[in-house]
């Protein structure tokens, strides 16, 4: 097989599939809108209160819902039609966020309203995400999942890199509350796109299957017993820890170490480097997994990712900073894509949403916010270079766990469950 030519061909076939195009478009549109809200909400609540504490609560609202509702959302998505969950979630999110600009236009918006809307929207997103991640394996065969996930991760990263810069520019001329109306429209667009997907997004549902705590226990047992999924979720949490720590103090690091101040065009390039690296990584992942298999690809990438994290902490000027951020982002997106793909490839369809949501809880519910918190504490006590170095050691730990675990002896091609 010609690996070099087969990966682009697979990508082309994916892009020409109307259902996959709608799925990816819905994901990117939704994340683009959420990126707008991510920028606008803190600005809005700080403008109302002038309080750093109130503003920080918006960030907390991003992580807590995964911890509180992640497993329940996964269990629900494995027992009902995933398309219906996603469409209903999009509509509810649109209605929830629409209350913010409406209240602003009526001069009745309060900080409590903003925080409640942010928290409720994130809860709704947890249920959407549980169904969304479980739906992709229903649209593509498991051997095409690396390319499909690369499309999703690559497109999403571009949106999450470009959109915040556009949102930041819009806030200068439009109120943050009015900008949130853009996110409302993206949720409506996402619902319409998902509704238009012709193929089913769920397998056959067993009416007698367990629900509630027994259903959650079924998913947990699978994770604990499956040596690849178990280890990759731990690795994913450590990688997310490194990402959260870097994003939490990236601006501070740029200011204190790279001498790049707020308003400097070079800061935009630094953020742009994150997106460039991620896009390149998304193109490399399908080729790497096709050539070596998912587990071996993870074993190869993790040590290099750890080296990129350490190199990042050694950058002392702007250009090396840009190059190391791009390199770090490249390997981060590769590990994230490999981890998600491996879980999707080896998980039985009836457990898909529960297992995928458990991975999300470990990464964005635990690893990411813990990394952000520790980096903030360290940056207040020591210099940012040391803070980055300490936090990026989580990638070294992840690489050691991978090479000392059963992943080393895993077969190149993993057993695919009967759906």
Q: What is the pLDDT of residue 354?
A: 81
Global pTM value? 0.73
Percent of the chain, pLDDT > 70? 84
- Which of 399, 412, 417 lies closest to 295, judged by CA? 412
CB 32 within 8 A of CB 186: yes
Indicate if the pLDDT at residue 164 is higher than 50.
Answer: yes
Please report, for residues 23, 49, 72, 192, the alpha-carbon distance to residue 201 in angstroms, rounded to integers and kept in the order given: 10, 43, 19, 15
Indicate if the pLDDT at residue 366 is higher than 90.
Answer: no
CB 271 within 8 A of CB 391: no
CB 50 within 8 A of CB 56: no
Indicate if the pLDDT at residue 127 is higher than 70.
Answer: yes
Q: What is the pLDDT of residue 96?
A: 94
CB 369 within 8 A of CB 244: yes
What confidence tier does 383 reach under pLDDT thresholds 50, 70, 90? confident
Q: What is the pLDDT of residue 5?
A: 43
Q: What is the pLDDT of residue 287?
A: 87
Please tell me the total number of residues recorded for the chain in this structure. Answer: 419
Q: What is the pLDDT of residues 221-248, one digit of tens each?
A: 888 888 888 899 999 999 999 988 887 7
Indicate if the pLDDT at residue 49 is higher than 90.
Answer: no
What is the C-alpha to C-alpha distance for residues 42 and 59, in angstroms, rounded to an integer?
Answer: 8
Indicate if the pLDDT at residue 206 is higher than 80.
Answer: no
Q: What is the pLDDT of residue 30?
A: 82
SS3 content of the chain, % helix, strand, coil (to 5): 85, 0, 15
3-class DSSP assignment, residue 140: coil
Indicate if the pLDDT at residue 163 is higher than 80.
Answer: no
Compute the mean pLDDT over every residue in the chain, rounded to the nearest whole number: 82
How much is the average pLDDT of 80-109?
93
How much is the average pLDDT of 20-38?
83
CB atoms within 10 A of CB 314: 11
Q: What is the pLDDT of residues 313-357, one digit of tens each?
A: 999 898 999 999 999 999 998 998 898 888 888 888 778 888 888
pLDDT-wise least confident of 71-85, 154-168, 349-363, 367-381: 154-168
Indicate if the pLDDT at residue 208 is higher than 50.
Answer: no
What confidence tier does 15 reach under pLDDT thresholds 50, 70, 90? low
**Measured between alpha carbons, how far apart are the two ends of the chain, in Å?**
27
How much is the average pLDDT of 251-277?
77
Burial of residue 141 (number of CB atoms within 10 Å: 0-12, 13-18, 19+): exposed
Structural domains in the chain, sorted by start: 1-205 (1.20.1250.20), 211-409 (1.20.1250.20)
């Amino acid at each position: 097989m010609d690996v070099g030519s087969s990966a682009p061909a697979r990508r082309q076939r994916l892009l020409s599939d109307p259902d996959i195009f709608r799925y990816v478009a819905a994901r990117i549109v939704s994340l683009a809108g959420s990126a707008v809200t991510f920028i606008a909400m803190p600005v809005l609540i700080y403008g109302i209160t002038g309080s750093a504490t109130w503003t920080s609560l918006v960030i907390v609202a991003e992580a807590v819902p995964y911890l509180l509702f992640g497993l329940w959302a996964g269990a629900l998505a494995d027992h009902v039609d995933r398309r219906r969950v996603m469409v209903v979630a999009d509509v509810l999110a649109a209605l929830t966020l629409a209350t913010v600009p409406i209240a602003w236009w009526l001069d009745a918006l309060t900080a409590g309203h903003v925080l409640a809307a942010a928290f409720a929207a994130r809860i709704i997103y947890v249920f959407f995400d549980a169904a969304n991640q479980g739906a992709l394996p229903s649209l593509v065969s498991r051997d095409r999942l690396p390319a499909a996930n690369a499309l999703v991760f690559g497109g999403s990263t571009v949106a999450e890199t470009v959109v915040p810069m556009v949102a930041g520019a819009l806030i200068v001329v439009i109120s943050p509350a009015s900008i949130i109306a853009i996110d409302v429209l993206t949720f409506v667009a996402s619902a319409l796109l998902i509704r238009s997907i012709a193929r089913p997004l769920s397998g056959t549902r067993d009416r007698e299957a367990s629900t509630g705590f027994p259903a959650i226990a079924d998913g947990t047992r699978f994770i604990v017993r499956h040596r690849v999924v178990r280890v990759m979720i731990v690795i994913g949490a450590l990688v997310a820890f490194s990402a959260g720590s870097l994003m939490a103090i990236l601006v501070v690091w740029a200011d204190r170490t790279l001498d790049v101040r707020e308003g400097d065009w070079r800061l935009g390039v630094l953020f742009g480097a994150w997106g460039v690296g991620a896009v390149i990584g998304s193109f490399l992942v399908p080729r790497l997994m096709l050539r070596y298999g998912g587990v071996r690809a993870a074993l190869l990438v993790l040590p290099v990712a750890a080296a990129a994290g350490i190199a990042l902490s050694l950058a002392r000027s702007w250009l090396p900073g840009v190059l190391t951020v791009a390199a770090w982002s490249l390997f981060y997106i590769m590990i994230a894509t490999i981890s998600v793909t491996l879980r999707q490839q080896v998980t039985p369809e009836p457990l898909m949403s529960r297992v995928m949501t458990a991975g999300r809880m470990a990464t964005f519910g635990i690893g990411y916010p813990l990394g952000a918190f520790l980096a903030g504490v360290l940056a207040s006590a020591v210099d940012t270079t040391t803070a980055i170095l300490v936090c990026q050691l989580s990638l070294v730990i992840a690489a050691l766990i991978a090479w000392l675990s059963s992943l080393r002896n895993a077969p190149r091609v993993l057993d695919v469950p009967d759906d």
